[in-house]
Structure 1
Amino acid sequence: MATISFTKGQGTGNDFVIFSDPDGEVELSPEQIAAICDRHFGVGADGMLRAVRSRSIDAGAAALAEDPDAEWFMDYRNADGSIAEMCGNGIRVFSKYLIETGLADLEPGDTLPIGTRSGVRDVQRSTNGFSADMGRWRLDGGEPLVRAKELPVARPGLGINVGNPHVVVALASDEELDAADLSYIPVVDPEPADGVNVEFMVAADPLVSDGVGHIRMRVHERGSGETLSCGTGAVATALAARYWAGAGAPNQWRVDVPGGRVGVRMFAAEDGEHVSLSGPAELVFEGVLEV
């Protein structure tokens, strides 16, 4: 039986079990990860983050080819043990963990490159915690129909990919958003082959104030269920809101989630438009697991 020293962290209520495995020596099965993330019989978390050096994991080769300075790779697993490409809240918590444990340095104004399965993501300090450049995004478009428990009719969604897949659904009121029962998996038609994160959003009134858009959202994450926050989901929702708002819509957004508030900003880059996510990150407690 092996022991693992872990840290529990959270970003706007999206919580993670984090542990360091620099040389890639610890291989946990999906069943072990699911047991650790179980909120009744385990530590409890929306997912698990393993800090492994990019050179020590097969998926890290692409990260090092993209940026040789991406020493650390964020090996992210959902609460059910399945692999996910990216996690916007997780990368802030991951960065906080690397810094607090002395595995990495990040001075104000500097950038910390982190390897992920959707490419290298650059993290900087921000006024409210950390900001991560989530890279280029893609409009998958279409109008998949989404059904959710306690919403009386199917609603059209918008497909957006920000390193992982999302379908965003606009609702008419806060009452509709509050009524949705996201303990059940929303049904998306046509059903994506690899699953999808589903966000439900409501626009603030007014939508734009002082040049900043404001929306509220809830999310059902594939492999984790409803969470208090989803960073990539907040990014996808802000992108969808801007798309629906049309010409003149802002490039800065405040996104309220059940666990707090995050900021989203769209900006031009050499390889196309990028989008960044900013928000808090906190390390909650430490412990030891026997697995």
Structure 2
Amino acid sequence: MSTIPALPSGLPFAKGHGTGNDFILVSDPTGERDFTPEQVASLCHRHRGIGGDGLIVAVHSSTLPEGRAILQSCPDAQWFMDYRNADGSVSEMCGNGVRVFVHFLLAEGLLELDGAATVRIGTRAGLKTVSRSADGYAVDMGPWWFEFPDLAASRASDSLVDTVGLSVNRPALSVNMGNPHTVVALADAAELQAVALTAQPQVLPAPPNGTNVEYVVPAEPLVEHGVGRVAMRVYERGVGETLSCGTGACAAAVATRYWAGSGAPDAWWVEVPGGVLGVRFNPGPDGRERVELSGPAVIVARGVLN
């Protein structure tokens, strides 16, 4: 039998989610706690732990090398989102997580965000700017890019994905949102329902650091009142299927807009099993297009580890 790792007794925590993508949140400003991958996996276990798609630790940016690098160009990015997947692996970024992270900081009294104000947060995918929105919070996710731009231009796909529940491998497009994504277009809702994400999809060729895999179905009609609409399911790297993925929603919108061709809108609604996320494309000051993600963030519980 495997040994359950010792967990820090007396540790206060919160549980939160963004459109069903759920997280354990811990405040550790000075970075005193060093969670091992085994401890993270134990905490996130659905039956023997608190349960969650990941662990988010709030630390001062000055406590981590990645945070100190961000402070050099943005001294007001005082907080860093130290995010771990449910299996204990380190992740670069989580779009739902950063909204829940800011909501947690506000609830803890560690941060103030009034009116039209914005807050800058450090992540392993760089600086993220967060503001309030009509449905919760909006995050400037930064620029997106194709992993293989030449293949995207020539074939509109760069890989194949083998998925349990689908009879043949499907072409896919690799999009980077600070973390890697592989987007697969499906024909209809029946195919989306048939996808069995209890098993990890196999991407060919295999990305060296793994990838999140999104399955998308365009709505009929695709565009309504100037807004594009897609439905999505996702298999998150290091987690499995989740009810939502913020960076995945952005990647799904990137790929679908690209496949739709010229005239596709800049605003999108992405329906995930846990709700609806907003994605908008905005021009960047450096000429590179930036992606904004918006959606709710909720704290549902607080507790202390035994």
Counting only pairs closer than 5 Å after superposition, residues 186-265 of structure 1 correspond to structure 2 as 186-265=201-280
Match of 2:296 in 1: 280
Question: Structure 1, residues 110-169: CA drift from partner, whole Å, max 9, x if none?
Answer: 111000001010000000000000001111244210011011000000000000000000
**Runs of 4 or more above 6 Å deviation:** none
Tell me the alpha carbon deviations over residues 169-204 of structure 1, each in whole angstroms, 9 at most, x when there is no partner.
000010000010011000000000100000000000
Count of aligned positions: 290
Write out aligned runs for 1:28-177 (5 A): 28-141=35-148, 142=151, 143-177=158-192
Which secondary structure does the structure 1 equivalent of 2:147 belong to?
Answer: strand
Partners of 2:57 and 2:116 lie apart in 1 by: 26
Structure number with higher strand proportion: 1
- Which residue identity lines up with residue 108 of structure 1 in the other structure? G
**Structure 1 unmatched ranges of 5 or more:** none
**Alignment partner of 1:3: what SS?**
coil
Structure 2: segments with no counterpart, 5+ residues: 1-7, 152-157
Please tell me the residue identity of whatever aligns with 1:93: V
CA RMSD after TM alignment: 0.8
TM-score by length of 2: 0.94
Task: Tell whether the 8 Å contact from 1:140 to 1:161 is kept in structure 2 after alignment.
Answer: yes
Which residue of structure 1 aligns with residue 155 of structure 2? none
One-letter amino acid of the structure 1 residue matched with residue 247 of structure 2: T
- Among the aligned pairs, what percent are the same residue? 54
**Structure 1: distance between partners of 2:115 and 2:293:** 17
Q: Provide the TM-score with structure 1 as the length reference.
A: 0.98
Give 1:36's aligned amino acid: L
CA distance in 2, matches of 1:120, 1:3: 32
